[in-house]
A and B are shown apart, each in its own frame.
Chain A
Amino acid sequence: MSEKILELSLSFLQIGSFSIGGGYAIISLIEELIVNRYHWITLKEYTDIITISQMTPGPLAINASSFVGLKIAGIFGAVAATFCCVFSGVVISLGGYCFFCRHRKSDVIMNILQGLKAVATGLIGAAGAGILLLSLTGQTEFSVHINHFDFYALAIAIVSLFLLRRFKIGPVWLMGISAVAGVIFY
């Protein structure tokens, strides 16, 4: 049992340390370790986790570590795997933050931060465009051929954007309203 927890912890430490960029960049890394190397879960179970991840809150890596940990070594396994999965990222983030705070007066450092902000804008923009594409066409990758166009989704997105910008509506309300709209439309 403790051996399994150790193995779990080390694998998720590795997953947590080598997945940069978040989101879907890490799908193949997780698959490589927990499906192909250790055979903790089957490929079918793994694709199910990805589906569940899209329906429930929380990052994919956390969902995967909770699921695998729970299955292999119960609740302690889940906690250990999740802890190891976030550990190195949190330590490096805090170190980076302290570093930038200490060098706030340096021109070079502030320029790097400015650059990182611009990159973040582009990446979030791409993620937003990807989600919009998924919502409107059901496709996950950009292409000129569109088989199906969902006008209800377009309507929900436009009304949401209007409510957000004009009335500063909170995300809690917006998600609730759009869920109800989804049930009515589809």
Chain B
Amino acid sequence: MERKSLLFRLFWLFKANIIISCLAVGGGYMILPLMKKQFIDKAKACDFDELLEMYAIAQSAPGAIAVNLSAITGYKLARLPGAVVSCIAAVLPPLLIISAVTVCYRQLVDNHAVNAALKGMIAAIAAIIIDVVYEMSKNVARSKEMLGLFTAAAVFYAAFILNFNAILLIIFSLAAYAVIFNIRNRLKK
């Protein structure tokens, strides 16, 4: 991908981000499996480990994870022009759809078929996210450290069962990581 011309890359980024953005129903968490499909399975632009790194950064910055991740992947493929094009392509579909939907949203919200289709889609979205979490866990476990898997499990428990705030979890886990890393370094010496 990186050998192709700049114009080709920008065009591809625009197309890929429009597709991803149109499919990202159900919040920013859908973005990772969709990005994986476009960037890794189709374009082979990076590997899953790199994508996870980019996702981890996008998640730790403020704002919508989906748009942040689009900016980072765009930057990786085509520097600043890539980031700008990707961001525009990422916000365009929701902007247009919301503008259109505000005119007739009452009918949409009350429509039985729309609600039924949505229920089916939410079940599939759950499956898509579970699938990507499995891949992520494999990646985290691969570094042969129990710490990664333990952190993931602890964050899962705190976020799902205890309803902890995401930003608190990010800060707390990083602090815990730093302390453990330091202690281990000292023990090695």
> Could you list which residues of chain A lie within 8 angstroms of chain B, going by C-beta atoms?
16-25, 48, 51-52, 54-63, 66-67, 70-71, 75, 78-79, 82, 85-86, 88-90, 92-94, 96-97, 100, 108, 111-132, 134-136, 141-142, 150, 152-154, 156-158, 160-161, 164-165, 168, 170-172, 174-175, 177-183, 185-186
Q: Main secondary structure on chain A at its contact with chain B?
A: helix
Q: Is the CB–CB distance between A23 and B61 below 8 Å?
A: no
Tell me whether A21 and B173 are in contact (CB under 8 A).
no
How many chain B residues have a CB neighbour from A under 8 Å? 101
CB pair B61–A55 under 8 Å, yes or no, is no
B160 to chain A, nearest CB (A): 4
A to B CB contacts below 8 Å, 7 in the list: A21-B165, A57-B21, A112-B177, A116-B56, A116-B59, A127-B159, A178-B121
B74-103 vs A: 1/0 string, CB under 8 Å?
011000000100010001011101110110
Besides A22-B166, A125-B156, 7 new A-B residue pairs in contact (Cβ under 8 A), listed by A number: A17-B62, A20-B170, A48-B109, A55-B114, A100-B57, A112-B178, A117-B139
Closest A residue to B32 by beta carbon equals A124
Determine the distance from Cα of A166 to Cα of B109 in the docked complex, in whole angstroms: 35
In Å, the complex CA distance between A31 and B94 comes to: 20
Residue of B57, B98, B136, B159 near A58 (CB, 8 A) is B98
- B23 and A172: CB pair below 8 A? yes
Contact A70–B109 (Cβ < 8 Å): no
Q: Are A115 and B108 in contact (CB under 8 A)?
A: no
A183 adjacent to B116 (CB under 8 Å): yes
Query: Bound state CA distance, A124 and B69, in angstroms?
Result: 14
Q: How far is the CA of A118 from the CA of B117 in the complex (A)?
A: 33
Would you call B75 and A178 a contact (CB within 8 A)?
no
Q: Which chain B residues lie closer than 8 Å to A125 at the CB level?
A: 133, 136-137, 152, 155-156, 160
B residues near A16, Cβ cutoff 8 Å: 62-64
Query: Contact between B98 and A56 (Cβ–Cβ < 8 Å)?
Result: yes
From B83, B127, B159, A90 is in contact (CB under 8 Å) with B83
B101 touches A56 (CB 8 A): yes
